[in-house]
Amino acid sequence: MLPDHSNNELLMNLNYDRDQLISIVRQYALQFGQFTLASGKQASYYLDCRTVTLHPQGANQIAAGMLDLILGNHFGSIPDAVGGLAIGADPITASIVVHSGLRDRGLLGFMVRKEAKQHGTGKLVEGPVRPGMKCVIVEDVITSGGSALKAAQAAKDFGLDVIGVLGVIDRLEGGRAAFEAHGIPLATLLTIHDFPKT
C-alpha cells in the first residue's frame, strides 16, 4: 500500500532544492577518469545525467528547478511548451509537464526525433504542439550545445518560437557562446564549478 501524503507534503516535494540536486548528481552521475565525449573531446570527468533524470528525486528536482525558471519569466515570457532531442531530453520534458500539471499550469511537452519517421506522418517534432507556440528546449548536459541546437532548429522549422534553452549542468566548454551566436539564451540549474574534484 502506498503511503498517505497530505497536500502540504506534496507541495513541499514540488519545491526546488539545489543542494539536493547537487548531492544526487554527485552520487549518481559524476565520474572521474578519462572519457571521450559525444562532441569528440577528451575529458577528465563524465556526467551520466540519465542516472539523474531517470531517478525519482533527481527528476523531481530538475523539473522543480526548471519550472521555477520558466514560470519566473526567465526568458522574457512564459512558453507554451518544453521539449528537446530524443532520448536524452525526454525524461526532463515528461517531468516538467507533470510538475506543470501539479501546479495547475498548462505547459505541453514535445520531442524532437533524431530523424523523421519513414512511416505515418513522417514528423520530426512529436507532441501536442502547433506552429506559433513559444517553447523552451531542455537538455541534460550542455557541452558544445550541438544536441540542443539541433532540437532548436527542428522546433523552428516546425514553426515553434524558441525563446530559450534550459540545461541541468553546463560543462562551461563553449555551449553558452554557441547559443548566443544563434540568438538563444541559455540557463542552467548547475555548472561544473558546483562539483570541485574531491
Q: What is the 3-state secondary structure (H, E, C) of 86-142?
A: CCCCHHHHHHHHHHHHHCCCCCEEEEECCCCCCCCCCCCEECCCCCCCEEEEEEEEE
User: 127 phi and psi, to 5 degrees?
Assistant: 135, 175
**Which residues make Cβ contacts (< 8 Å) with residue 68, sequence separation at least 6?**
16
d(CA 55, CA 50): 8
- Cα 187 to Cα 15, 27, 111, 141: the distances in Å are 18, 23, 20, 12
Ordered by start, the domain boundaries in the chain are 7-194
pLDDT of residue 157: 96
Say if domain 7-194 classifies as CATH 3.60.10.10.
Answer: no
pLDDT of residue 123: 84
One digit per residue, the tens of pLDDT, for the chain of length 198 reads 444 544 544 444 689 999 999 999 999 999 988 988 777 878 888 899 999 999 999 999 999 999 999 999 899 999 999 999 999 999 999 999 999 999 999 899 999 998 776 666 668 999 999 999 999 999 999 999 999 999 999 999 999 999 999 999 999 999 999 999 999 999 999 999 999 874
Closest alpha carbon to 104 in 137, 126, 128, 71 = 71
Which string of b and e fits 152-187 if b means at least 16 CB within 10 Å? bebbeebebebbbbbbbbbbebebbebbeeeebbbb
pLDDT of residue 198: 45
pLDDT of residue 3: 46
**Which residues make Cβ contacts (< 8 Å) with residue 127, sequence separation at least 6?**
81, 83, 108, 109, 110, 111
CB atoms within 10 A of CB 188: 23
pLDDT of residue 130: 97
